[in-house]
Amino acid sequence: MKIKSECKVENMAAELTGDRDIVRRMDECRKATEFVWSLTQMRIANGLNQRQMAEKMGVSKSKLSRIEACADADLNFGDIQKYVAALGMDMSIMFDSADIPAAKRIRQHVLAVHSLLERLCDISRQVGATDDISRKIKEFYGEVLLNFVLGVDESHSKLPVGEPLQFTVPSMQESCVTA
């Protein structure tokens, strides 16, 4: 029985078992554990094994093993906080809904990016204006701005109205136009 010629684990399992439904069930399982998988990948990327991570979290290795083996819906918020803190990372949560107008949702994301860029400003001020880190932060700001403008321009070009994109940058007091 031939399912597909692709070399996906799901397809190989379907061929071996003769169960076509296994592809769907494996896909559901993968979707149900995406967040847990991301956490585990971050631990691995930080070079930590389960024993080391459990110590940093202040939990037993078996508790960590259960966390990394559960479905996303079964995660405990406190465990997520401990996990992220043990990795030396911050966590932010953004609530989103399809009922919220797209413009408002985009504003929320822009404000979140602005907050992160402000953190870079703080780092730059701490290390001083002549430091190599400050120079790299300024270069990064240019990259962020360029990528943002290019992304907006690309999305704008897909709109049915053919007017050029116009905007004013308040700090520059000049009108800018992209074709």
Residue after which a domain boundary falls, among 86, 113, 137 = 86
Are the C-beta atoms of residues 178 and 171 closer than 8 Å to each other?
Answer: no
Task: Indicate if 35 and 65 belong to the same structural domain.
Answer: yes
Report if residue 139 sits inside a domain.
yes
Report if residue 94 sits inside a domain.
no
Report if residue 48 sits inside a domain.
yes
Helical ranges in 46-131 per DSSP H: 50-57, 61-69, 77-86, 102-127
> Residue 119 pLDDT > 90, yes or no?
no
pLDDT at 43: 96
Task: Indicate if 82 and 116 belong to the same structural domain.
Answer: no
Report if residue 69 sits inside a domain.
yes
Please give the model's pTM, rounded to 2 decimal places: 0.57
Report if residue 112 sits inside a domain.
yes
Report if residue 39 sits inside a domain.
yes
Question: Could you tell me which residues are beta bridge partners of residue 174?
Answer: 169
> Residue 178 pLDDT > 80, yes or no?
no
At residue 107 the predicted structure's pLDDT band, cuts being 50, 70 and 90, is confident
Task: Indicate if 45 and 78 belong to the same structural domain.
Answer: yes
Instruction: Tell me the residue range of the domain where 161 lies.
Output: 102-178
Task: Indicate if 49 and 77 belong to the same structural domain.
Answer: yes
pLDDT at 177: 45
> Residue 69 pLDDT > 70, yes or no?
yes
Name the domain count of the chain: 2
| 78: CATH | 1.10.260.40
Report if residue 51 sits inside a domain.
yes
Mean pLDDT, the chain, whole residue set: 84
pLDDT at 68: 96
Give which of 77, 78, 93, 88 is closest to 53, Cα–Cα: 88
> Residue 61 pLDDT > 90, yes or no?
yes
Task: Indicate if 66 and 115 belong to the same structural domain.
Answer: no
Q: CA 70 to CA 144: how far, in whole Å?
A: 36
Report if residue 97 sits inside a domain.
no
Task: Indicate if 42 and 111 belong to the same structural domain.
Answer: no
Higher pLDDT, 37 or 123: 37
Higher pLDDT, 10 or 162: 10
